[in-house]
Amino acid sequence: MSFDVDLFVIGGGSGGVRAARIAASEGKARVALAEEYRMGGTCVIRGCVPKKLMVYASAFPGQIADARAYGWHVVAGGFDWPQFRTALETELDRLERAYRGGLTTAGVTIHDCRATVVDPHTVQLATGETVTTKHILIATGGAPFVPDVPGADLALTSNDIFKLDALPSSILIVGGGYIASEFACVLNGLGVRVTQYYRGAQILRGFDDEARGHVADAMRASGIDIHCGTDVLRMDRAADGIRVEATNGTDRTFGAVLYATGRRPNSAGLGLEPLGVAFGRQGEIVVDGHSQTAVPSIYAVGDVTDRISLTPVAIREGHAFADTVFKGTPRMADHDLVASAVFTQPELGTIGLTEEAARAQEPIEVYVASFRPMQTLFAGRGDRALFKLVVSQASRKVLGCHIVGPGAGEMIQMVAIAIKMGATKEDFDRTCAVHPTIAEELVTMKNPVRRG
């Protein structure tokens, strides 16, 4: 059978773009891609990239205060949100052009519209055009989830935060995951009075208990009003903002409310259900190790599969798909020992097992160092860094590493190489320290603080 293209990709985020580009340029396939919003997806347009730039912006008040302590005569003016937002939009435009340029150079045909699946080999465009294809790749990512509470339509989501005309004087952030906690720190640093409600016992569920407790303590010390065991009952429009009734018995008004209560796979309405594609409980597309669905011609990568919802993982899944289907070199993306970073203030970098998960698996040793970093200690700040290694008693392998402090995200990337290679605690011990750095603590922790 003759097809219009060899591959049709639905979704122009990191995973879909990588798959399309590799299939076209290296696999010599005829490729088309449809994106209904902006090329680059969540990470580039409304996620990791703009968020990290906001993290940088929010850190300057502390840096200016430190500069004074170091002898610099500096004065901080007010933060100009419109100026920053304009510069941010310019940068996102540049990145979007780069994504488009990469696809065009590879020979990919771009359709700037929504696409749905008609049958295992046919895609329908919102323009009315149909395209036949040998393979279909779903890479539509995820979308913010807002629970069904009275007044939910009054809430912002992470998609909205970059588009605000002005920053509110106060904000309630609902949620305790990394997105909620990152935005709590960012907005606090930009001068917004931040309150955070989370229904669980501690923010950053799923991360190491000691590490997330360390982050929560630092966030509170910076002025963020965190209320755990608390959820929203209802929201109403008030003359001076949004009135929020909560399960802790309070009735307060905030300038804005941001819901960051998780993300759901963006899989509805694509036409996949009648074809026999299987879905999980949260709407995720079920795939095998090669990202293939129950329909042989249809594949899916990235957040829509809800395996590990991280941009570098989506990129690797997309690349592995292209290698397997179009380059004749079958391989699967490796989801084991994937490092990640939470850009709270302080940052949290992590890889491997938490202390709790490791202890449930086997006897372990735990090495911990907590101290005040030299740079902020000199400036008179009370910041504390945390370094933690979780070690197998039997194999001596480092099962997990958790870092809280300046540059934790940068450090965990390097540590991940060693842990991925199977490094033991003795390998860390044999490595000479670089002094004076905070990272030297990774190789100077000699005695475990606990065993279990």
> Rounded distance, CA 270 to CA 118, Å?
9
Known catalytic residue at 435: yes
Residue 349, φ and ψ in degrees, nearest 5: -115, 140
Read off the pLDDT of each residue in 17-27 and give the average, rounded to a whole number. Answer: 96
Residue 275 has a pLDDT of: 97
Q: Which residue shows structure tokens 């700037």?
A: 112
Q: Which domains does the chain have, with CATH numbers?
A: 5-142+264-326 (3.50.50.60), 152-261 (3.50.50.60), 340-451 (3.30.390.30)
Q: What is the mean pLDDT of residues 71-80?
A: 91
| Cβ atoms 138, 272 nearer than 8 A | yes
Mean pLDDT value of segment 159-168 = 94
C-alpha separations of 357 from 81, 170, 425 in Å? 42, 37, 18
For 370-404, what is each residue's pLDDT tens digit? 999 999 999 999 999 999 999 999 999 999 999 99
Cα–Cα distance, 303 to 119 (Å, whole number): 23
Nearest-angstrom CA–CA distance, 285 and 418: 33
Nearest of 18, 172, 162, 173 to residue 103 by alpha carbon? 18
Return the exposure string of 143-170: e unless at least 16 CB atoms fall within 10 Å of the residue's CB, then b: bbebeebebeebbbbbeebbeeeebbeb
Give the pLDDT confidence score for residue 199 in this predicted structure.
97
> Which of the residues 111, 214, 335, 435 is marked catalytic?
435
In the beta sheet, which residues pair with residue 123?
117, 131
**Mean pLDDT score, 150-166:** 95
The tens digit of pLDDT for each residue in 257-278 reads 999 999 999 999 999 999 999 9
Question: pLDDT digit string (tens) for 400-449?
Answer: 999 999 999 999 999 999 999 999 999 999 999 999 999 999 999 999 99
Mean pLDDT of 330-343: 97
**Mean of the per-residue pLDDT values for the chain?**
96
Q: Which helix (H) or strand (E) holds 33?
A: strand 31-34
The rounded distance, in Å, linking the Cα atoms of 410 and 439 is 10
Other beta carbons within 10 Å of 206: 10
Amino acid at 251: D
